[in-house]
Amino acid sequence: MLRRDLFRAWLATPWAGRVGLWWPRAAGGGTEGPDAASVYRKAFGWAKGLRPEDSRWLGEAATIAIDDQRRADALIRRARPALAAIREAAAVDRCSWGVEVLGPDDLCQGHLDVSQIDVIRAACLSARRLARSGRGSEALGDVFAGLTLAHRVGTGGVFIARVLECGGEAPAFRALGRILPELDASALDELARRLDALPAPEPASAAIGPESRFLLGSIRSKLPAIGPRIEREGWADLGFDEEGASVLDRLTGGDRAALLAHLDATGPSFAELARRLDLPRPGCRAALDEFAEAERATWPIASGLVDAAWGVRHVVDRMRALRSMIRAGLALVRDGEAAFRAARDPFGTGTFELERRGTGWVIRSALRDEGRPGTSLEVGEVA
């Protein structure tokens, strides 16, 4: 019911520590010691200054054929301060983005700016060049620094933060797939250990609390300027479309105090949305649609989030699939096809699909959603 045009546009776009092997907390408590967020801001500044053509080229950095080595090397040289920053930040335990209460002006800023994904893509490009020159451990360091950043952006975040998390993880895992056959036995073992230490993405439902607080807080912050009675223009100023405004006007009579009481009572509807969002995937979408239909006339704010919430569920499932596929790819490269066949597709009834192509392979998962491409991972150089 609230206008979510930017979020929907992002969803329509295809994708996509502790020192050593341990990951840092996504958002540290307390105020003592160094803060990774301040280090990340150096990298974000670099990304904001990228030329549009370089940003577009980096969009394919994880898998593009690096025929223009001079261009790749020149971009990596320019990115060195940003890459050093994310590696340094990955070793810092505490990361606080400094936004206690997220407001509309905080979207598309700082860690919620889509340009920060270019830092992770640059790390992928650097990793591919390092792996090609036999420096596998350094290549893994770049990729996992990018994964640390993606994890910190998404953990405890609103919907857009989860989309950005997947947008960062997807190229990182695709880069790992591309360099797998170039890693020696020691680097492959290191990759296995790093994957074991990788925390799972938060469930999709974890975003409902932050998103609902953001939405309700945004509405409450605008109400004083609206006045005690909410007329048609007032509903639009609050961010509601015509359908949502009509329902809420009927429920509250356009009275500001009644709307505040309605907002205060929305908790159970958001909790039910969160519960359904974590149901097993085969029945999840139907359960969400049923919720939207049942709640539309009484709790339009929560029911209006169903499509966006399903988008978050899909990107979280996509992260899970990519993690499983990179483990299957590791087994394939290190131990052969029999070991690959032992890996299970979490979204299918058996193993992943495997296709030999050129000197590499394509791994495909059964994960698919209407209107979106299937989920696959290339291992090695694919013709």
Q: Does residue 217 sit in the same domain as residue 101?
A: no
CA dist., res. 284 & res. 276, Å (int)? 6
Start-to-end Cα distance in the chain: 45
Compute how many other C-beta atoms are within 10 angstroms of the C-beta atom of residue 10.
18
CA dist., res. 132 & res. 69, Å (int)? 12
Q: Does residue 213 sit in the same domain as residue 238?
A: yes
Q: Does residue 96 sit in the same domain as residue 29?
A: yes
Q: Does residue 149 sit in the same domain as residue 233?
A: no
- In percent, the amount of the chain with pLDDT more than 90 equals 73
Q: Does residue 269 sit in the same domain as residue 337?
A: no
Domain edge (last residue) among 304, 331, 365: 304
CA dist., res. 295 & res. 300, Å (int)? 6
Q: Does residue 123 sit in the same domain as residue 230?
A: no
207 pLDDT higher than 50: yes
Q: Does residue 226 sit in the same domain as residue 188?
A: no
pLDDT in tens, 188-199: 999 999 999 998
Instruction: Please give the structure tokens belonging to residue 284.
Output: 């999840």
Domain edge (last residue) among 274, 304, 334: 304
Domain extent, residue 156, equals 5-199+313-379
Verdict on whether the full-model pTM lies above 0.85: yes
3-state secondary structure of 12: coil
Q: Does residue 127 sit in the same domain as residue 53?
A: yes
Q: Does residue 61 sit in the same domain as residue 150?
A: yes
Q: What is the DSSP string of 334-345?
A: HH-HHHHHTS--
Write the CB contacts of 250 (distance below 8 Å, at least 6 apart in sequence). none
CA dist., res. 314 & res. 321, Å (int)? 10
Q: Does residue 342 sit in the same domain as residue 254?
A: no
pLDDT band at 371 (very low <50, low <70, confident <90, very high): low
pLDDT in tens, 249-307: 999 999 999 999 999 999 999 999 999 999 999 899 999 999 999 999 999 999 999 99
Cα 52 vs. chain centroid, distance in angstroms?
A: 22
Instruction: Please give the structure tokens belonging to residue 327.
Output: 């483990």
pLDDT in tens, 117-131: 999 999 999 999 999
Please say whether the beta carbons of 179 and 127 come within 8 A.
yes
Q: Does residue 183 sit in the same domain as residue 214?
A: no
Domain edge (last residue) among 304, 327, 342: 304
Query: Of the candidates 143, 152, 162, which has an alpha carbon nearest to the alpha carbon of residue 204?
Result: 162
3-state secondary structure of 376: strand
Looking at the structure of the chain, the number of domains it has is 2
Q: Does residue 187 sit in the same domain as residue 227?
A: no
